[in-house]
């Protein structure tokens, strides 16, 4: 924690310094990018973030090795009968499917948890470390700081998803054959097109996390304790996932941010079935708008005491 | 947030604080407004979208039926949504295991066997995709969560592929008798599923005689196409079938939507319709299938299993829209053929199982009897006593002396029929 705090304060000092420099000139639009770059490097250099990314990268390794051991005696299907995460039955025949399986395995919990930690920490972590007011001394403005924090969280969503996908692709290529693949509709596509779809799926998965990132940011503006904000965000995530399983609540389930997460698998149909994918993106945009606005209302009106 | 920090506010500041507080509160109008706009969009857009019934020239019921009969759509692709609500008790996992036992219970045990997927459609909402190119190329896919089950017919090859378990089922069509029946099984499946509303429409129209009223009931938009609505209603009382509505594409005559509403009101028992449809030639690759590496392939060479699938099909209550006889056959495989009482919609099949009837609590059946009692209602009359098992469409009365009365009729009609028979 002390390391992170040091990183925080050094980051804050840097931005305070560059803030002074900028105050001398008129603040240029590029200054926001400088703030963003600064935020990004601060976030990504934290040990906590690196550990989270490490855990995410380990999931595909675990799945790949488990499937390899399971099928080493020659049995062809790992998840006979369709048990386990989506696509797991096809991994042995095509390593590219490990990308889809790894994303399906991490999307319900590991990825949003990592995003929840980063988003929950965004404002409350600074307040907790006593660096928030220094950040605001720089002529960045509260709205701009909030937008930068959200952009950093979104960038982390993309990075985290790509880490899972890349790790899965490497493990899949090492352990299993690659080649033409069969879509879940039974048609064939070339390996190149398969890679393209894998990238598209990774981006859709990253976009699926927009909602929880906005929710986490809002929670983060409510408290001055970084830990409380992270715990609340992850707790909300788990609660919503459980509620999404209760059949009696089917009337409100389509409005849960996690409801359409697994729709990314629809990209593997041929032709692609867009209905749920579009619904997912609309829902994420709605969450971003509502909780982003709420976070703005709270943060711009808040007393900053730390 | 140390307590001493809040001590420096004076009374003068409080007025300022109030104003500042109001300004702060005003900011929360933004997220609330976003929620409001979203709620209004979600609530109002379907209402506006549904209000525009298309203006089409008037046709008579006869002309519309002819249009359906003359319809010759060879090439299409589309998405079909099927909701089935038979009012069966929710059996959860039991249902799927029943499906496995009933369909895949033979030696092959492949989850890609078409018959093992039949029961899945008996309840809930399912999305299907259909594609057809002429007589000998068809594809039907059942969209699952992150998986898909496809039946593909390309010439005389019939493939079924289950992507969740990576298993395939293969049959040669039209060569030998057994393979032919396998092919038929697949075709039956596509008929069985109200995915081809055409078959359902024909079935329903067959029953149209003096017991039935067939009218054209305005127009509607289905899957973005203008359609006429054909309304079929039983004239007799006592049927559980309230109305059958079929939306027929005004241009091609293809039935686009099939809705069966029960007399008891509430949601439709069967609601099957296109949500998207295109009449262009589907890509040729749609019908190409070769099993992926490592997929378990089951050859469909067992006519027995297909026979079973057919029986299952008849036993499924959702399928007999007036076809009560089929239901009777399914239930009474082991006994004499059923006698049909009444005609048209309120026909009741009666047959004698020759057994003791079902154990019930009264007849000393113990726990099993109590369990069965909990599923049905006890009734009594001139015929003695018995148990009525009801769904929203088909009701069956099983008397304690082993007689079975079943039909798409109300409970009262069943009891009356049983009384009349004694």
C-alpha span between A85 and A70 (Å, rounded): 15
Chain B residues within an 8 Å CB radius of A269: 143, 148
Chain A residues within 8 A of B292 when measuring between CB atoms: 90, 93-94, 181-182
Residues 6+ apart with CB under 8 A from A112: A209, A212, A237, A258
Cα B149 from Cα B166, distance rounded (Å)? 10
Strands B167-172 and B296-299: parallel
Give the pair of three-digit tokens for residue A31: 């200054």
CB contact under 8 A, A273 and B79: yes
Q: Which of A111-125, B234-248, B300-314 is predicted with the least confidence, judged by mean pLDDT?
A: B300-314
Q: What is the mean pLDDT of residues A72-99?
A: 70
Check whether B188 has a pLDDT greater than 60: no
To the nearest whole Å, the CA of A52 is away from the closest chain B CA by 27
| Option in B31, B164, B293 nearest A294 (CB) | B31
Non-local CB neighbours of A288 within 8 Å, separated by 6+ positions = A210, A211, A213, A214
Unique residue bearing structure tokens 């209760």: A246
Considering B321, B341, B374, which residue would you say is the last residue of a domain?
Answer: B321
Clarify whether residues B155 and B242 are in a common domain. Answer: yes
Tell me: do B256 and B140 sit in the same domain: yes
Q: Chain B partners of A296 at a C-beta cutoff of 8 Å? A: 27, 30
Contact A265 B146 (CB under 8 A): yes
Residues 6 or more apart whose CB falls under 8 angstroms from that of B134 comprise: B74, B75
Alpha-carbon B269 to chain mean position: 7
Q: Would you call A272 an interface residue with chain B, using a CB distance cutoff of 8 Å? A: no
**Separation CA B321–CA B244 (nearest Å):** 9
pLDDT for residue A91:
85
User: Of A113-117, A192-196, B289-293, where does mean pLDDT reach its minimum?
Assistant: B289-293
Mutate to test the interface with B, among A184, A259, A273 (most CBs of B within 10 A): A184
Shared domain for B329 and B311, answered yes or no, is no
Give yes or no: residues B169 and B312 share one domain: yes
**Domains: count for chain B:** 3
B284 and B195, same domain (yes or no): yes
For residue B14, what are the domain limits?
A: 3-51
CB nearest to A305's CB, from B1, B127, B152: B1
With an 8 Å Cβ cutoff, the interface of chain B facing chain A consists of: 1, 5, 23-24, 27-28, 30-31, 34-35, 38, 79, 111, 127, 129, 141, 143, 145-148, 150, 152, 159, 161-166, 275, 285-286, 288-290, 292-296
Task: Evaluate whether A38 touches A11 at the Cβ level (below 8 Å).
Answer: yes
Res A61: pLDDT: 95
The pLDDT assigned to B406 comes to 85
Asked whether the predicted pLDDT for residue A223 surpasses 60, the reply is: yes
Tell me the nearest-neighbour CA distance from B258 into chain A, angstroms.
22
Contact B147 A184 (CB under 8 A): yes
C-alpha distance from residue A293 to each of A200, A206, A231, B22, B146 (Å): 28, 21, 22, 17, 33
Phi, psi of A240 (to 5 degrees): -65, -40
List the structure tokens of A262: 């697994």
Both tokens assigned to B365: 């059946």
The b-or-e profile of A268-278 (16+ CB within 10 A means b, else e) is bbbeebebbbe
* Residue in chain B nearest A79 by alpha carbon: B165
Measured CA to CA, the distance from residue B383 to residue A254 in angstroms comes to: 50
Token pair in block for residue A65: 């090795």
Mean pLDDT of A208-237: 94
* CA distances for B367 relative to B363, B377, B402, angstroms: 11, 16, 19
CA of B237: how far to CAs of B225, B349, B409, in Å?
35, 17, 9
Say whether residue A133 is in contact with chain B using an 8 A CB cutoff. Answer: no
Q: Is the pLDDT of residue A230 over 80?
A: yes
B316 and B383 fall within a common domain: no
Residue of higher predicted confidence among B302 and B383:
B383
Q: Which residues contact B3 (CB under 8 A, 6 or more apart)?
A: none
- Give the CATH number for residue B413: 3.30.310
* Mean local confidence (pLDDT), B228-248: 84
Distance from CA of B127 to the nearest CA of A (A): 11
Cβ of A90 and B165 within 8 Å?
no
What pLDDT does residue B126 have?
87
**Cβ separation of A187 and B288 shorter than 8 Å?**
yes
**DSSP characters over B327-379:** HHHHHTTTSPPPEEES-GGG-EEEEE--S-----TTTT-HHHHHHHHHHSEEE
Query: Could you tell me the pLDDT band of residue B205, with boundaries at 50, 70 and 90?
Result: low
Q: What is the pLDDT of residues B56-88, one digit of tens each?
A: 888 877 778 777 877 778 888 889 988 888 776
* % chain A with pLDDT above 70: 85
Partner-chain residue, chosen from B147, B285, B286, that has the shortest CB–CB distance to A82: B147
Among A287-301, B86-100, B135-149, the minimum mean pLDDT is found in B86-100
Average pLDDT, chain A: 85
H-run or E-run covering B227:
strand B225-234
Q: What is the pLDDT of residue A138?
A: 76
pLDDT-derived band at A10, boundaries 50, 70, 90 = very low
Q: How far is A206 from chain B (nearest CA, A)?
A: 18
- Kindly determine whether residue B148 and residue A186, on different chains, have CB atoms separated by under 8 Å: yes
| Residue contacts between A and B (CB atoms, under 8 Å) | 110
Using the predicted structure, report yes or no on whether residue A73 has a pLDDT greater than 80.
Answer: no
Name the more confident of B218 and A10.
Answer: B218
Q: Please give the mean pLDDT across all residues of chain B.
A: 71
CB B84 within 8 A of CB B269: yes
Is B145 found in the same domain as B208? yes
Contact status, residue B400 vs residue B383, Cβ threshold 8 Å: no
Confidence at A248, pLDDT banded by 50, 70, 90:
confident
Q: Looking up tokens 């299952």, which residue turns up? A: B312
CA-based nearest distance B200→chain A, Å:
26
- Looking at the structure, tell me whether residues B199 and B228 fall in a common domain: yes
pLDDT of residue A11: 45
Distance CA A14, CA A18 (A): 6
B132 plus B246 within the same structural domain: yes
Place of tokens 């009482």: B341
Nearest CA in chain A to B162: A184
Q: Are residues B10 and B66 in the same domain?
A: no
Q: Are residue B248 and residue B367 in the same domain, yes or no?
A: no
- In this prediction, residue B393 has a pLDDT band, given cuts at 50, 70 and 90, of confident
DSSP string across A131-142: -HHHHHHSTT-H
Of residues B267 and B258, more confidently modeled = B258
Chain B contact present for A181, CB below 8 A: yes
Whether residues B31 and A293 touch (CB distance < 8 A) is answered with yes
Name the band, by pLDDT with cuts 50, 70 and 90, for residue B164.
Answer: confident
Across A41-55, B219-233, B293-307, the highest mean pLDDT is recorded for: A41-55
CA distances from B128 to A262, B19, B140, B154 (A): 18, 59, 7, 19
Separation CA B351–CA B173 (nearest Å): 37
Report if pTM > 0.95.
Answer: no
Contacts of B24 in chain A (CB under 8 A): 297, 301
Beta bridge partners of B387: B378, B398
B275 shares its domain with B378: no
Q: What are phi and psi of B367, to 5 degrees?
A: -65, -40
Quick one: tokens of A221?
């503006």
Residue A28 confidence class, pLDDT cut points 50, 70, 90: low
Top-ranked range on mean pLDDT: pick from A197-206, B1-10, B63-72: A197-206
> What is the average per-residue pLDDT within B89-112?
45
- The verdict on whether omega for the bond into residue A271 sits within 30 degrees of 0, i.e. cis, is yes
Chain A residues lying within 8 Å of B143, measured CB to CB: 269, 273
Q: Are the Cβ atoms of A273 and B285 closer than 8 angstroms?
A: no
Instruction: Please identify which residue in the block is written with the tokens 């799945």.
Output: A63
């Amino acid at each position: 924690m002390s390391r992170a705090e040091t990183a925080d304060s050094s980051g804050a000092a840097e931005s305070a310094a560059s803030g002074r420099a900028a105050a001398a000139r008129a603040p240029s639009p590029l200054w926001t990018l400088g703030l963003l770059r600064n935020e990004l490097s601060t976030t990504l250099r934290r040990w906590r973030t690196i550990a989270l990314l490490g855990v995410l990268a380990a999931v595909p390794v675990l799945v790949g090795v488990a499937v390899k051991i399971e099928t080493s005696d020659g049995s062809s299907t790992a998840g006979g009968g369709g048990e386990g995460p989506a696509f797991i039955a096809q991994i042995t025949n095509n390593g590219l499917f490990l990308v889809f399986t790894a994303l399906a395995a991490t999307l319900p919990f590991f990825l949003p948890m990592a995003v929840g930690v980063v988003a929950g920490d965004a404002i409350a972590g600074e307040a907790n470390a006593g660096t928030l007011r220094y950040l605001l001394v720089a002529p960045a403005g509260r709205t701009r700081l909030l937008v930068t924090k959200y952009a950093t969280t979104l960038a982390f969503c993309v990075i985290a998803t790509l880490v899972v996908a890349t790790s899965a692709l490497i493990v899949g290529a090492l352990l299993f054959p690659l080649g033409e693949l069969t879509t879940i509709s039974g048609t064939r596509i070339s390996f190149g097109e398969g890679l393209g779809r894998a990238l598209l799926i990774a981006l859709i998965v990253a976009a699926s996390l927009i909602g929880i990132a906005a929710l986490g940011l809002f929670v983060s503006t409510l408290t001055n304790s970084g830990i409380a904000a992270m715990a609340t965000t992850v707790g909300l995530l788990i609660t919503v996932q459980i509620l999404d399983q209760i059949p009696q609540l089917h009337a409100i389930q389509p409005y849960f941010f996690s409801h359409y997460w697994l729709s990314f698998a629809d990209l593997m149909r041929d032709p692609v079935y867009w209905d749920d994918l579009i619904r997912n993106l609309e829902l994420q945009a709605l969450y971003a708008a509502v909780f982003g606005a709420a976070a703005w209302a709270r943060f711009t009106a808040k007393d900053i005491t730390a | 947030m140390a307590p001493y920090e809040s001590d420096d506010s004076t009374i003068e500041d409080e007025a300022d604080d109030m104003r500042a507080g109001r300004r702060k509160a005003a900011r929360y109008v933004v997220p609330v407004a976003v929620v409001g706009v979203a709620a209004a969009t979600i609530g109002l857009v379907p209402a506006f979208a549904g209000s525009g019934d298309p203006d089409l020239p008037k046709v008579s019921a006869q002309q519309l039926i002819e249009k359906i009969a003359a319809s010759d759509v060879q090439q299409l692709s589309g998405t079909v949504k099927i909701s089935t609500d038979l009012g069966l008790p929710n059996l959860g996992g039991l249902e799927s295991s029943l499906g496995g036992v009933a369909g895949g219970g033979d030696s092959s045990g492949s989850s890609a066997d078409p018959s093992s997927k039949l029961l899945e459609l008996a309840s809930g909402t399912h999305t299907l995709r259909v594609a057809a190119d002429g007589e000998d190329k068809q594809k039907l896919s059942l969209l699952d969560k992150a998986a898909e089950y496809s039946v593909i017919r390309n010439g005389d090859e019939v493939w079924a592929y289950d992507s969740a378990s990576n298993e395939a089922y293969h049959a040669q069509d039209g060569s030998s008798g057994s393979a032919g029946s396998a092919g038929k099984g697949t075709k039956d499946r596509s008929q069985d599923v109200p995915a081809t509303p055409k078959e359902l429409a024909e079935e329903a129209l067959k029953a149209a005689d003096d017991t039935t009223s067939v009218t054209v009931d305005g127009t509607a938009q289905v899957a973005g196409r203008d359609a006429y609505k054909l309304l079929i209603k039983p004239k007799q009382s006592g049927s559980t079938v309230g109305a059958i509505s079929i939306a027929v594409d005004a241009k091609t005559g293809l039935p686009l939507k099939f809705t069966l509403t029960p007399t008891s009101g509430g949601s439709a028992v069967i609601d099957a319709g296109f949500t998207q449809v295109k009449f262009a030639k589907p890509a040729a690759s749609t019908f190409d299938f070769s099993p992926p590496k490592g997929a378990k392939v089951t050859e469909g060479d067992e006519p027995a299993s297909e026979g079973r699938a057919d029986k299952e099909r008849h036993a499924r209550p959702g399928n007999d829209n007036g076809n009560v006889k089929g239901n009777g056959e399914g239930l009474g495989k082991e006994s004499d053929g059923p006698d049909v009482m009444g005609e048209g919609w309120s026909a009741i099949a009666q047959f004698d199982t020759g057994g003791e009837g079902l154990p019930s609590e009264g007849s000393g059946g113990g726990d099993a009897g109590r369990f069965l009692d909990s599923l049905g209602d006890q009734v009594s009359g001139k015929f003695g006593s018995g148990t009525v098992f009801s769904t929203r469409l088909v009701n069956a009365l099983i008397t304690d002396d082993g007689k079975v009365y079943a039909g798409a009729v109300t409970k009262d009609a069943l009891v009356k029929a049983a009384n009349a028979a004694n």
